[in-house]
């Protein structure tokens, strides 16, 4: 099962890299939860495929790349150790995927939040 989960995640990276949105979105559960850390313009918790699709479109505006270097699996979790690049800048990243019934149900990203803020701007503070 762990190897199947790694292949599912690997296929997601391939689809993202090639711009194959249909294949990428098919790998996610309808109730996907994606957590993008920090205070950048793309940071936040996205729930469901509609919100995830909007996040990915916003993320894609800066043509980022993410290159996985290794995958570690334990049960229903896969960790991808990768390099994220945007705007000529690169940083190490880790993404933790939770897989159930052949679909990704949760993604938690651990990356360089300052780099994301430099390229996507900071979220505006809520008015008091």
Mean pLDDT, 10 residues at a time, the chain of 128 residues: 93 96 96 97 97 95 96 97 97 98 98 96 71
Query: How does DSSP classify residue 122?
Result: B
What pLDDT, on a 0 to 100 scale, did the predictor assign at position 128? 47
What pLDDT, on a 0 to 100 scale, did the predictor assign at position 107? 98
> Which residue blocks in 19-93 are alpha helix, DSSP H?
21-26, 48-60
According to CATH, the topology of domain 2-113 is Nuclear Transport Factor 2; Chain: A, (3.10.450)
Place of tokens 């800048």: 89
Nearest residue to 72 via CA among 93, 52, 95:
95
Report the predicted TM-score, pTM, of the whole model to 2 decimal places: 0.93
What pLDDT, on a 0 to 100 scale, did the predictor assign at position 126? 58
- ∠ CA 23-38-48 to the nearest 5 degrees? 35
Structural domain boundaries of the chain? 2-113
CB atoms within 10 A of CB 21: 14
Place of tokens 């793309």: 42
| Tokens representing residue 55 in the block | 């996040």
């Amino acid at each position: 099962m762990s190897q199947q989960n790694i292949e599912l995640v690997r296929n997601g990276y391939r689809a993202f890299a090639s711009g194959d949105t249909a294949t990428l979105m098919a790998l996610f559960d309808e109730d996907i939860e994606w957590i993008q850390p920090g205070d950048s313009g793309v940071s936040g918790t996205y729930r469901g495929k509609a919100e995830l699709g909007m996040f990915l479109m916003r993320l894609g505006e800066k043509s980022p790349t993410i290159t996985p270097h290794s995958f570690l699996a334990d049960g229903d979790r896969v960790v991808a150790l990768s390099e994220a690049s945007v705007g000529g800048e690169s940083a190490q990243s880790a993404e933790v995927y939770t897989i159930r019934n052949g679909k990704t149900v949760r993604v938690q990203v651990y990356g360089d939040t300052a780099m994301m803020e430099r390229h996507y701007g900071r979220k505006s503070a809520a008015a008091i």
